[in-house]
């Protein structure tokens, strides 16, 4: 693989153009992993789930469709976050691209930030495309169900304006709402935190496999962290120790359960802007913290 072309600028403490160049080259590098095939698989899953199980109630059909689609979204984002990030540093070292980049006026923190941004651009772009497909399938399913329900009311000669409006309101609650997009945003934030964690681990890991296994382990632990913390700390420790250890555990292992807005989105609940701001701020803290520690390891790494 040829060296990544970078435009040389006079050295400055921070350059957005250098970071953007690194990010876009990272996206190009990752696209060679044929990640777009997953978008095709997701499309088939979403369409298949959208028109399966017609014997269920309308609400159950829509909830099942959203459940299957969100499951695919989360698998896509987590797999790409772990695998893509874990491969970046080893591949650049193997291809000697890293030496070419750092021989130019590119600080190491810009290299890390650019690589992480590239992964996030790829994940965000993929989730955006899948969100559009997802929304289209949900809207079609919702429209067909409403039409069937109205036709049933007309057959029973009960298609009064009030009954029609009630049917539309009930189905629309479980159909396409703004909460679906909020749920996708929460999926992206979770993937972003996992990417930053994988980047941190890759800066001191001895192999790509080690990075993938350890990050995957942290991801599993992060999803169940709240339950484990509540059981262990509340049962064995006093209040003071409990708070201190809870904070340490939450920093070392990200509390990924805090980003689970998928269930409310599937149920058709309204997700408040305060909840979105809260999870966005939490994700930003994790990303900044993990990236900073990653830089401290990377700056001491012998290349």
Q: How is 128-163 classified by DSSP, letter by letter?
A: HHHHHHHHHHHHHHHHHHHHHHHHHHHHTT---HHH
CA distance to 45, 47, 201, 289, per residue, from 130 (Å): 11, 12, 29, 29
Q: Which pLDDT value is given to residue 292?
A: 94
pLDDT at 3 over 60: no
Please tell me the distance from the alpha carbon of residue 212 to that of residue 74, in angstroms, as a whole number: 17
pTM across the whole model: 0.84
> pLDDT tens-digit profile of 141-193?
889 888 888 888 888 877 788 888 888 888 888 888 899 999 999 999 999 99
Nearest C-alpha neighbor of 149 from the set 167, 161, 133: 167
Angle at 136 between CA 131 and CA 138, to 5 degrees: 95
User: How many CA within 13 A on the CB side of residue 286?
Assistant: 30
pLDDT at 108 over 80: yes
């Amino acid at each position: 693989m040829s060296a990544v072309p970078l435009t040389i600028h006079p050295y400055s403490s921070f350059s957005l153009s250098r970071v953007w160049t690194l990010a876009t080259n990272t996206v190009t590098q990752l696209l060679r992993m044929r990640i777009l095939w997953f978008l095709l698989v997701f499309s088939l899953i979403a369409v298949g789930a959208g028109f399966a199980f017609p014997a269920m109630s309308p609400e159950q059909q829509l909830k099942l469709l959203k459940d299957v689609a969100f499951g695919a979204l989360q698998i896509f984002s987590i797999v790409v976050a772990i695998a893509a990030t874990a491969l970046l540093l080893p591949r650049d070292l193997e291809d000697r691209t890293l030496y070419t980049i750092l021989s130019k006026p590119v600080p190491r923190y810009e290299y890390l930030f650019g690589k992480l941004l590239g992964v996030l651009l790829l994940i965000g772009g993929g989730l955006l495309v899948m969100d559009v497909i997802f929304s289209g399938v949900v809207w079609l399913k919702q429209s067909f169900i409403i039409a069937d329900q109205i036709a049933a009311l007309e057959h029973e000669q009960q298609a009064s304006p009030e009954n029609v409006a009630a049917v539309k309101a009930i189905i629309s609650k479980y159909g396409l709402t703004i909460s679906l997009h909020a749920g996708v945003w929460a999926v992206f934030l979770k993937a972003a935190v996992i990417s930053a964690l994988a980047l941190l681990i890759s800066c001191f890991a001895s192999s790509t496999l080690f990075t993938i296994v350890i990050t995957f382990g942290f991801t599993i632990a992060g999803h169940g962290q709240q339950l484990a913390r509540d059981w262990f700390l509340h049962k064995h420790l006093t209040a003071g120790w409990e708070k201190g250890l809870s904070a340490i555990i939450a920093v070392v292992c990200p509390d990924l359960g805090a980003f689970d807005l998928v269930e409310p989105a599937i149920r058709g609940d309204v997700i408040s802007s305060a909840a979105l701001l809260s999870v966005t701020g939490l994700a930003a803290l994790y990303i900044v913290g993990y990236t900073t520690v990653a830089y401290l390891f990377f700056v001491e790494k012998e290349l």
